Amino acid sequence: MSAVLRDPSAWWAAAAAQGHAMLQQAWAAAGEGLGPENHADGSALTLAPVYPAPGVEAVLITLPPPQAPTECHYIALVRAAGQPPRYFVAERGIEGEGGAQRAYWAEWAHAPGGGIMRIRGADLPAVSPEAFVAAVAAVCNAAPPGPQAPPWQGVRPNTPAKMNRVGLFLGAGCFSLVLLGLGFGGCLLYQEEGRGLHVPDTEVASVAVEPDKPFKIQFVWDGTGYAFNNIWLVVDEGTTSGASFKVKGNVSCSRDRRAESVDRSLTGYGAHDVERKGGSGFSGWFYLMDEYERSSSRPIECSGVIAPSTGAWTKARIVVTQRQRPSDWFAQ
């Protein structure tokens, strides 16, 4: 996604001749730093041109079958006539009644204020490349706005202007309601797509951790719907080595999740709220993993071993925070 969004047109042009090589390079780069148990076999990745609708062309990438919600079935780079290519994914949804498989489309795009945002779309009628490509082609090939009303010609000559105060008040009231609706909708959109999921938040559980010594932490998600239970290493007192700090280890949680290898650094995407304390000292939060779970009174237990591979700490904790999107609140 990062490579495509940097220059969608260039990636599109290169994909025709070098698509499979580019795909394998991107797959290998995405897996750097992960242990063998967390590598999915990318040897069968496919990339093919498709033409889902008149004036719309796409490059469809088929990924290994997703194992958990929000992992992707497919990727599509879609271009409609006169528009730059757009980046879509088909994500696995939470299973429906009777274990029925669900999927929905989402788009990754540049945010208006800078950065990248994910826009969640509608559920797909079927978990298939045909249904996915048809849905995103419709989004890219949406009909233009309908004809506009003719411009207002002003007051007729020699006709005295009259002010209808009732209409003015009703118009002002309606406009206020529109503004309120837009504000509420914008807030929901921000909570769903703009607000980061893996950022430090209120602590719900914490336990001290020492290098290379096993830790365990228990917590409960008993709110409404689903939540992201984020697992963090919080270094309260740490020191760098050569201006660098890195940690490695394995973390697993109790609800049918296998151990995951973690490899985080002071300058990587998983580092947050880093505070330099003079010399080589620092403090900071390091995102390890999350446990996306439905509300339950049953405790969740996470355990593992983690240690610095570069630098050191004298005081650190494993911390759990919880975060929801509006869709997680209503998810069943």
pLDDT digits (tens, 9 = 90+) for 223-251: 888 888 899 999 999 999 988 999 999 99
- Which of 88-92, 195-199, 270-274 bottoms out in mean pLDDT, i.e. has the lowest? 195-199
DSSP state of 213: S
Contact criterion met (CB below 8 Å) for 262 and 251:
yes
Q: Which residues contact 231 (CB under 8 A, 6 or more apart)?
A: 217, 251, 253, 287, 288, 289, 290, 291, 302, 318, 319, 320
Q: How many Cβ atoms from other residues are within 10 Å of residue 117's Cβ? A: 15
Measure the CA–CA gap between 11 and 14, rounded to whole angstroms. 5
3-state secondary structure 64-117: CCCCCCCCEEEEEEEEECCCCCEEEEEEECCCCHHHCCCEEEEEEEECCCCCEE
DSSP state of 256: T
- Collapsing DSSP to helix, strand or coil, 161 comes out as coil
Q: Is the pLDDT of residue 201 over 70?
A: yes
Q: What is the mean pLDDT of residues 137-153?
A: 52
- Stretch(es) of the chain classified as CATH 2.60.120: 203-330
Query: pLDDT above 70 covers what percent of the chain?
Result: 80
Confidence class of residue 125 from pLDDT cuts 50, 70 and 90? very high
**CATH assignment of 203-330?**
2.60.120
